[in-house]
Structure 1
């Protein structure tokens, strides 16, 4: 420390702070948000902290300083976290007859309140879905007030709720639905719907989930003062605590299912959170299995946010995953995966 210049001493101080915060973020997926609601916000910026640790490794490394070990150890311990926010390569796609495709998309009510100035959004979304022709389609923030052509799907389950603003969820399928239902969340407009789908000789269960929103606008031009910052953190902390309850209801509901499960939808939380870990359990994240790049699913400028997921049981082989972050017709981007149900051994 004595041999460091004043600039390096300042850098070393911030490096120590970063190291502590990163280790805390590593532990948060294992701690219920109700215990530390304020700290849970750190899970949203863990990717940024990992990148900053990489910067410090280069900073100390080019100077041949032993302080390089600080961030190097942090990165080594958290190496398994990298696949959750960046994949260097996907999978070579091999299409087989038993494959099927799944799409999940939060459509933000098809822009019924004209949040976006763009015209013909419902038609654009319908055309996009038709171009991808997924076998199973899960839509969050669905609206029946907008007429959208999805005639390719013979089977569907749509659930609408709300008084002043009616919003809902929908599952569309090219395969027959033999059962369907919902998981009602207490004191919330959000919920989960599910459908048991008879697919050839097998039956699978598909959940479409939409967890509690943080209700934070991503407008970077908005002035944020101290009072605004406190309000944002309070809202996020409260939302994460509610999401904990919702994730536990989903986890409990899944245990009673005898079929292979697919979970699609908008968690409104990162892949480093307790909520994600609680719902995922021993399932596979389709992005981690076959995605590429950041897997960005939310239209937040300058930060590759991934809060929409497709999770599948180990009975499925994930053959492909895509996020369409160039298709801007909602505040979320559609995601798709190609799956194959493994034959029973």
Structure 2
């Protein structure tokens, strides 16, 4: 029997640690973040865990080692998670008269504070919206701006806060809005707004959400030390706990909705989280139904983060879904989908 090298032993040790962390990440979506707020951070790393397990599996298989069984079991158990992370084929079903188009976009206040060194961000975002020409448009981190020309929408519901620089959310629609409202969250400016739209003979409720931010985009580029790492993990844990409450409030509101519903927007969490699972329930994830690739919706250099979603009731058919990663006018990418409602 050939003696194993030290490198092989070390590699398999890390393989076992990775397998344990991945199993924990599998379980966490079923546990409330308030119980294990620090561990909940692992759900953000699930895509990385899956990639590393696949890498270990491949290495051991090529070496004809039985050690491949460990990562093989991990990947087999997590098979249902893979579809949330990466889609190999895209769906683009034919158009029909029952179709309508929806766009969701976190516009980051139209670059109000000049995060990007570009002067005509509002005009460029307007052009993108006009090119896609959605029937329903949901904007998060919205700020009233005279340079944003959304004349194709005769109906709108805008909810903003602040005195000098206003911010909030907005839903624009080509269909009549017969009712609108807000789901307010305690101790935060984040919220959900909704509208009831009349389309042909159907009334559809559309929710636009913006959940608690984890706010790590600026820190990740700075020099890390132990104190910085602890601070970031603590902040993420606190945000996840707040998101748990927000998700549960949304579910309670869903239970009172008499119409077919769509919820879209910025969840600020991954598809492997308790928060996502709570809000989604039995609804369809448009990315899983018709998307392709990673579905990256947040402009983050080191990670294909999908934190913006379109979720629909089961009586909707998702015909097209895409995130336009070429549009770098915000820290998020616009999400576009073509949907049909056939009853």
User: 1:164 deviation in Å?
Assistant: 6.3
Is the aligned partner of 1:254 residue 2:260? no
Aligned to 2:161: 161
Q: Deviations over 1:15-60 (max 9, x none)?
A: 0000000000000100000000000101011000000000000111
Contact 2:47 2:85 in 1 (8 A): yes
User: 1:287 deviation in Å?
Assistant: 0.3
User: What is the count of residue pairs matched by the alignment?
Assistant: 343
Alignment of 1:107-146 (within 5 A): 107-146=107-146
Aligned to 2:88: 88
Provide the secondary structure at the position in 2 that maps to 1:203: strand
Provide the secondary structure at the position in 1 that maps to 2:102: strand
User: 1:76 deviation in Å?
Assistant: 0.2
The runs of 5 or more residues in structure 1 that have no matched partner are none
Distance 1:243 1:165 in 2: 25
Provide the secondary structure at the position in 1 that maps to 2:169: strand
Is the aligned partner of 1:303 residue 2:303? yes
RMSD: 1.3
Aligned to 1:342: 342
- Segments of 4+ in structure 1 off by > 6 A? none
Is the aligned partner of 1:180 residue 2:180? yes
User: 1:302 deviation in Å?
Assistant: 2.6
Distance 1:130 1:45 in 2: 36
Q: 1:328 to 1:213 in 2, by over 3 A?
A: same
User: 1:167 deviation in Å?
Assistant: 1.2
User: 1:118 deviation in Å?
Assistant: 1.7
Aligned to 2:320: 320
TM-score (norm 1): 0.97
Contact 2:319 2:337 in 1 (8 A): yes
Aligned to 1:194: 194
Aligned to 2:38: 38
TM-score (norm 2): 0.98
User: 1:144 deviation in Å?
Assistant: 1.1
Aligned to 2:213: 213
Provide the secondary structure at the position in 1 that maps to 2:134: coil
Distance 1:221 1:317 in 2: 40
Distance 2:66 2:163 in 1: 62
Contact 1:94 1:319 in 2 (8 A): yes
Distance 1:226 1:2 in 2: 41
Distance 1:89 1:30 in 2: 28
Provide the secondary structure at the position in 2 that maps to 1:237: helix
User: 1:221 deviation in Å?
Assistant: 3.6
Aligned to 1:238: 238
Q: Deviations over 1:199-256 (max 9, x none)?
A: 1100000000000001212565411111111110010000000000000000000010
